[in-house]
């Protein structure tokens, strides 16, 4: 990629109807950019990775530990929170941030992904998504209006429009139908949001269209016409190859509005993050850090190799008598606390929940360090070299 770098000092408001949000581009290298994203719930340096707390829980990680890692914004899910604890409980306590004791910014997904992931428990209709609860079988019709009502009650810093998410490998006719429905729902979301939400909160649009570049271009243009406060690319990291996804990103991401935050939903492998950052993406989320931690997988920087991401499987017998810390320079509670690889291996072999907790916290710290390094590389003009090294690695 080109080694071009620009310094930009202007502040561009995300939306004339939303106060408290601004995006300042600090530096660029090619399409990759480092920004300051100001929100009513804190200032966020981008590129930024958001840990996922689907049900207002970061799965084994305390909110204070996530904050200590450098995380400034986390994600929760509307569908799951509507089922439990329920809208009235969260409305009664002032929202998700208050409920889970998280002081930073909160982005809430609308529940559109569950239209695909829950399979035969879902019927997608023009009015909304008809769910049969995966918990007790009860019925829930998630309409664009309910998705907005819920996210307003959740006190979300950033809410997402309701979309129909389908696999990018679906036939083009299905991709177009989902795109059209998403656009109709987006207009309904925008209308409800403008009438009911606080001015100090933002609503992001979601661009669908699978891997079809023409369809994505059309979806982006028509979604931008609805004038959201930021834009996300949805319907990716769902079965397609990394090569196909990256080919799309290099074409479509630079076309997204430069003065608004750009969000790639659900992508989380370190090398994939680097490729997306190179395209100009600002925000990311994925369950990978804590999901991997629960299965004994740790993300680390291998020493002496230019901050290249590696993974360690702590279940492997090679760690039985390895008394070194998981990673020498990591400030997480696992590494800084002196817990050895041998001890972590023992915890997983013994089925002790502490192993999953320690690795999940470590992985949250790793992802924040990884993104901080990406920002440093963009500002310093070395991002292209780092990306090339990541591509050449076997990690």
109 a catalytic residue: yes
Cα separation, 101 vs 108, whole angstroms: 16
Is 285 labeled as catalytic in the residue annotation? yes
Catalytic residue among 155, 163, 272, 285: 285
Sort strands 230-233 and 202-207 into parallel, antiparallel or unpaired: parallel
Q: Of the residues 109, 155, 163, 272, which is catalytic?
A: 109
Identify the helix (H) or strand (E) that includes residue 169: none
The strand pairing partners of 97, in sequence order, are none
Quote the CA–CA distance of 349 and 238 in Å, as a whole number: 31
The rounded distance, in Å, linking the Cα atoms of 258 and 280 is 9
Rounded Cα distance between 79 and 84, Å, is 9
Listing DSSP states for 57-120 in one string gives --SS--HHHHHHHT--EEEEEHHHHHHTT-HHHHHHTTSHHHHHT--SEEEEE-STTHHHHTGG
Q: How far apart are CA 33 and CA 29, in angstroms?
A: 6
Name the token pair of 54. Answer: 């689907």
Residue numbers annotated as active site: 109, 285
């Amino acid at each position: 990629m080109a080694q071009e770098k620009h310094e930009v000092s202007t502040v561009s408001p995300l939306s004339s109807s939303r106060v408290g949000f601004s995006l300042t581009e600090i530096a660029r290298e090619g399409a990759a950019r480092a920004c300051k994203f100001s929100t009513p719930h804190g200032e966020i340096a981008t590129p930024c990775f958001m840990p996922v707390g689907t049900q207002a829980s970061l799965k084994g990680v305390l909110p204070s530990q996530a904050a200590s890692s450098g995380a400034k914004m986390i994600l929760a899910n509307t569908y799951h929170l509507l089922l439990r604890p329920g809208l009235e409980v969260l409305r009664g306590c002032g929202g998700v941030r208050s409920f889970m004791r998280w002081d930073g910014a909160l982005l809430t997904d609308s529940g559109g992904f569950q239209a695909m992931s829950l399979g035969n428990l879902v019927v997608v209709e023009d009015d909304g998504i008809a769910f049969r609860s995966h918990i007790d079988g009860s019925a829930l019709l998630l309409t664009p209006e309910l998705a907005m009502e819920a996210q307003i009650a959740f006190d979300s810093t950033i809410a997402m429009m309701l979309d129909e998410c389908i696999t990018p490998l679906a036939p083009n006719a299905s991709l177009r139908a989902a795109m059209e429905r998403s656009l109709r729902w987006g207009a309904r979301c925008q209308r409800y949001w403008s009438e009911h939400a606080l001015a100090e909160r933002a609503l992001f649009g979601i661009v669908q269209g699978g891997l079809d570049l023409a369809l994505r271009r059309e979806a982006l243009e028509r979604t931008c016409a609805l004038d959201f406060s930021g834009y996300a690319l949805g319907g990716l990291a769902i079965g397609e190859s990394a090569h196909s996804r990256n080919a799309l990103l290099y074409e479509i991401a630079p076309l997204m509005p430069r003065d608004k935050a750009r969000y790639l939903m659900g992508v989380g492998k370190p090398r994939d993050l680097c490729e997306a950052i190179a395209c100009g993406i600002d925000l990311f989320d994925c369950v990978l850090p804590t999901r991997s931690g629960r299965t004994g997988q740790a993300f680390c920087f291998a020493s002496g190799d230019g901050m290249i991401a590696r993974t360690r499987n702590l279940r492997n017998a090679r760690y039985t008598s390895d008394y070194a810390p998981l990673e020498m320079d990591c400030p997480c509670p696992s590494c800084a606390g002196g817990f050895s690889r041998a001890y972590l291996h023992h915890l997983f072999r013994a089925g002790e929940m502490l192993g999953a907790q320690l690795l999940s916290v470590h992985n949250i710290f790793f992802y924040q360090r990884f993104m901080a390094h990406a920002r440093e590389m963009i500002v310093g003009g070395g991002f292209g070299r780092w990306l090339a090294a990541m591509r050449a690695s076997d990690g």
